[in-house]
Amino acid sequence: MEGRVVLITGASSGIGAATARWLARHGMRVVLTARRQDRLEALAQEIRARGGTAMAIPADLADPSARQALVCQAEAAWGPVEVLINNAGFGYYGTVQETPWEVIERMFAVNILAMIHLVQLVVPGMRQLGRGHIVNIASVAGHIAAPPLTVYAATKFAVVGFSEGLRRELAPHGIHVTVISPGPVRTEFGRAASGLDVDPNTVPGGLDPEAVARAIRRALQRPVPEIVIPARYLPAIWINRAFPRLVDWGAAQHGRTWLRHLEEARGRKEG
């Protein structure tokens, strides 16, 4: 991995930041992108202070022109992107009926359209090199959909399906594709999805972002189609595929519990 150029989206915090630190420690040149410029610059400076190589390029990935400028700037500085990690994404806690349409549009723009567009932009360089690796961050929610994240789950199902087809499409060109499907991770996801002051460390059963970063590194060293982390979710995914009605009741109960919890939290905030 020494010296390879990796573009990481959603790099200002959580999984993206942890992955950037991990890969930079192992000699990769990391291109960091997200909307929050101050956080990106701070992370790039931290990586450089530890002897790594990093470049921060702020961008709103919902904007197609910003995506194009991002890849052009990265390639102009360091040459073709050899590894693309599509990590940027967000969710929204609420029923489908209650979710504002503009939120749904932006969720699909960031979680799906940006991912596909960035793949289109970097694949020519990878084909020129005759190698490359694309890592798309999905979720266990991309295999088991449950309220109050139904719309978010739809975007992650799309990530899983897109990655499967893309893997088969690019394999003849020496380009690997891996999808990473984590369970809950201790990040700022809950705060962004709920609009409430949620402490990431209180996520039940939440993974440390470092665990996902290590899974990404393993995939880059030994390419596999998908990593579900933690592996304890694999039986639930298989059961949901074979006997979905067995999962329906539990998922519905889980959704109602979450919605009540959110209503209580919003009530406390407004009070």
For the cut 60, the answer to whether the pLDDT of residue 15 exceeds it is: yes
Above 70 in pLDDT, residue 101? yes
Q: Identify the pLDDT of residue 192.
A: 76
Arithmetic mean of pLDDT over the chain: 91
Interior angle at CA 40, CA 35 and CA 46, nearest 5: 170
Task: Give me the amino acid identity at 265.
Answer: A
Q: Which of 92, 93, 152, 233 is catalytic?
A: 152
CATH code linked to domain 5-270: 3.40.50.720
pLDDT over 70 at 40, yes or no: yes
Q: Model confidence over 175-216: pLDDT tens digits?
A: 999 999 999 898 877 777 777 666 555 656 678 999 999 999
Residue 148: cis peptide before it, omega within 30 degrees of 0? yes
- Provide the token pair at 188: 């700022």
Q: Are 22 and 46 in contact (CB under 8 A)?
A: no
Mean pLDDT calculated for residue range 146-171: 96
Per-position DSSP letters for 154-190, written without gaps between them? HHHHHHHHHHHHHHHHHGGGTEEEEEEEE--BSSSHH
Task: Quote the pTM value.
Answer: 0.91
Angle at 23 between CA 140 and CA 210, to 5 degrees: 45
Share of the chain above pLDDT 70, in %: 90
Are 43 and 32 in contact by the 8 Å Cβ rule? The answer is yes
Q: Is 233 a catalytic residue?
A: no
* DSSP of the chain: -TT-EEEEESTTSHHHHHHHHHHHHTT-EEEEE-S-HHHHHHHHHHHHHTT-EEEE----TTSHHHHHHHHHHHHHHH-S-SEEEE-------S-TTTS-HHHHHHHHIIIIIHHHHHHHHHHHHHHHHT-EEEEEE--GGGTS--TT-HHHHHHHHHHHHHHHHHHHHHGGGTEEEEEEEE--BSSSHHHHHHSS---GGGSTTPBPHHHHHHHHHHHHHS--SEEEESGGGHHHHHHHHH-HHHHHHHHHHHHHHHHHHHHHHHHHHH-
| C-alpha to C-alpha distance for 201 and 183, rounded to whole angstroms | 14
Q: What is the pLDDT of residues 230-258, one digit of tens each?
A: 999 999 899 999 988 888 877 777 667 76
What is the model's pLDDT at position 265? 65
